Structure 1
Amino acid sequence: MSLKYFIYGAVSLAMFSCTTRQDINYMKDIDSITLENSIKNSRVDFQPGDQLIITVSAKDMDVVKPFNQNYSSGSTVAQYTLPSSNNLPQQVPASGPTYVIDTNGDIVFPQIGKVSTKNENIETLRTKLTGLISEYVKNPIVDIKLINFKVSVLGEVAKPGTYVIPDGNTTLLSAIGLAGDLTAYGVRNNILIVRNVDGQISKERIDLTSANFINSPYYYLKQNDVVYVQPNANREKAARVDPNTGLYISVASVIASITVGILALIKN
């Protein structure tokens, strides 16, 4: 009889603690969803406080020296490369002439002066600066990196934390990948994203099991976005259990064994 109860208990525990395959699959209907809108949302506009490394090069590097006046070889910023396949994210240094976008959305660029970054992203600002510098240098090459773009991934992920992303371009899935993916206890159909744009806080719930979220403006993350993966019911129940429960059970088992042994001796 005790063996039967043990088997029932083990089966119940397995059903309680395991998450079905259906629950952990991502984007089950991706083939039926268009990705057209995701392209529109892929470009992240700059915000005040963004730090840009802007370097200018040309065939004759002496000619572009005046445009690289803010260079400081001792200034480096650690960033994370986006993981691919089973590779772990790696920190890579970034250094060069650094510009901080002011509260008006402007930077002051050598030889040119004040340049507005409002409604600009890396691609459009590169085009603008290339045109401005071309008035002084033939065929300049402008490289721009957004070095303080960061997102936080919290909750039921393997490595919760804040990550600095190269080039300021990352998707929700890439950010989750940096955090080591969701744990088995993470709720995949109710991911919370909190966004602050110019002091306006917005919140969005994302269902990773449906490809519809690719068309969401929250698929591509923005500066300082916070991604929170809430725990499922099983994790919440486990959190409410006394951490010493296992010890209590072990002690109770030992006492029960001793009691049984004593009773056996008494009967004999």
Structure 2
Amino acid sequence: MSFKYFIYGALCISAFSCTPRQEINYMKDIDGIALENSIKNSRVDFQPGDQLIISISAKDMEVVKIFNQNYSSSTNVAQYTLPSSNNLPQATPVSGPTYTVDTNGDIVFPQVGKVSTKNENIETFRAKLSDLIRVYVKDPVVDVKLINFKVSVLGEVTKPGTYVIPDGTTTLLGALGLAGDLTPYGVRNNVLVVRNIDGQISKERIDLTSANFINSPFYYLKQNDVVYVQPNAVREKASRVDPNTGLYISVASVIASITVGILALIKN
């Protein structure tokens, strides 16, 4: 009889402790999807509040000195770089002349004056500034970095948190990679992305197991996007169990053993 109960208990423990089989492959049908359709979503336009590091160089650095006068040596922003191995991303400090996009979408650049960033991204704005500065300098080299582009990755990932992205562009998969990928308990076919643009909240559920999601406007993330990976049923059930349950069972077992021993002594 006791052996029967032992087997029953072992089966119960296995049922609650094992993670059910689930599809963990990403984009399993990627060969059947037209990847070029995702390119149209790759443009990340500047938004009010964005911080840009802009530096100008030329053969004669004295000539472009006036364009770099907004430089502040105290500006030191940590950005995360994607590792080439399985190590966690490393923070790399960047610094330089810093400009903040105002509520009208403009910055004030030395000598040039007010410059609009509306409907511009890093590449197009770099070209725009080059044209404006070329009036004063021959063959200027313009470098633009978006230093406060950040996304938050929460839920069932290895390292949840908020990440500042180099170059101001990343994909959903890139952000999940920064967070160390999903844990075995993360639901891969129902990842939530929440976006706030000018006070308008939008959201979309993404199925990572299907390549169709690369055609979604949420494949390329935007400033302040929030990615949430929900836990599966096993994790949710485990979270409702008292973490001290194992301790209680152990104490109860000891008490039961002592009680049985005492009863045996009394009978004798």
TM-score normalised to structure 2 length:
0.94
- The residue aligned with 1:95 is 95
Distance 2:11 2:33 in 1: 38
- Against the structure 1 CA distance between its residues 92 and 261, is the aligned structure 2 distance closer, same or farther, given a 3 Å change threshold? same
Quote how far apart the aligned CAs of 1:256 are: 1.9
Question: What amino acid maps onto 1:127 in structure 2?
Answer: A
- The residue aligned with 1:238 is 238
- The residue aligned with 1:212 is 212
- Aligned pairs for 1:31-180 within 5 A: 31-180=31-180
Quote how far apart the aligned CAs of 1:2 are: 3.5
Distance 1:33 1:4 in 2: 53
Question: What amino acid maps onto 1:41 in structure 2?
Answer: N
- Of 52-61 and 82-91, more deviation after overlay is shown by 82-91
Quote how far apart the aligned CAs of 1:124 are: 0.3
Decide whether the 8 Å contact of 1:82 with 1:165 is kept in 2: no
Question: What amino acid maps onto 1:198 in structure 2?
Answer: D
Distance 2:131 2:213 in 1: 37
Decide whether the 8 Å contact of 1:51 with 1:147 is kept in 2: yes
Question: What amino acid maps onto 2:164 in structure 1?
Answer: V
Quote how far apart the aligned CAs of 1:75 are: 1.1
How many correspondences in the alignment? Answer: 268
Quote how far apart the aligned CAs of 1:158 are: 1.7
- Against the structure 1 CA distance between its residues 11 and 36, is the aligned structure 2 distance closer, same or farther, given a 3 Å change threshold? farther
Gaps of 5+ in 2: none
Distance 2:16 2:134 in 1: 66
Quote how far apart the aligned CAs of 1:14 are: 3.4
Distance 2:36 2:9 in 1: 50
Question: What amino acid maps onto 1:115 in structure 2?
Answer: V
Decide whether the 8 Å contact of 2:19 with 2:234 is kept in 1: no
Task: Please give the per-residue CA displacement for 1:153-176, whole angstroms capped at 9, x wherever unaligned.
Answer: 111112211111111111111111
- Of 83-92 and 195-204, more deviation after overlay is shown by 83-92
- The residue aligned with 1:14 is 14
- Against the structure 1 CA distance between its residues 3 and 61, is the aligned structure 2 distance closer, same or farther, given a 3 Å change threshold? farther
Secondary structure of 1:24's counterpart equals coil
- Against the structure 1 CA distance between its residues 84 and 18, is the aligned structure 2 distance closer, same or farther, given a 3 Å change threshold? farther
Quote how far apart the aligned CAs of 1:188 are: 1.2
- The residue aligned with 1:223 is 223
Decide whether the 8 Å contact of 1:53 with 1:145 is kept in 2: yes
- Against the structure 1 CA distance between its residues 190 and 76, is the aligned structure 2 distance closer, same or farther, given a 3 Å change threshold? same
Distance 1:237 1:46 in 2: 42
TM-score normalised to structure 1 length:
0.94
Distance 1:224 1:47 in 2: 11
- The residue aligned with 2:195 is 195
Secondary structure of 1:185's counterpart equals coil
- Against the structure 1 CA distance between its residues 192 and 143, is the aligned structure 2 distance closer, same or farther, given a 3 Å change threshold? same
Distance 1:93 1:21 in 2: 42
Decide whether the 8 Å contact of 1:83 with 1:174 is kept in 2: no
Question: What amino acid maps onto 2:255 in structure 1?
Answer: I
Distance 2:146 2:58 in 1: 21
- Against the structure 1 CA distance between its residues 36 and 5, is the aligned structure 2 distance closer, same or farther, given a 3 Å change threshold? farther
Secondary structure of 1:162's counterpart equals strand
Quote how far apart the aligned CAs of 1:94 are: 1.0
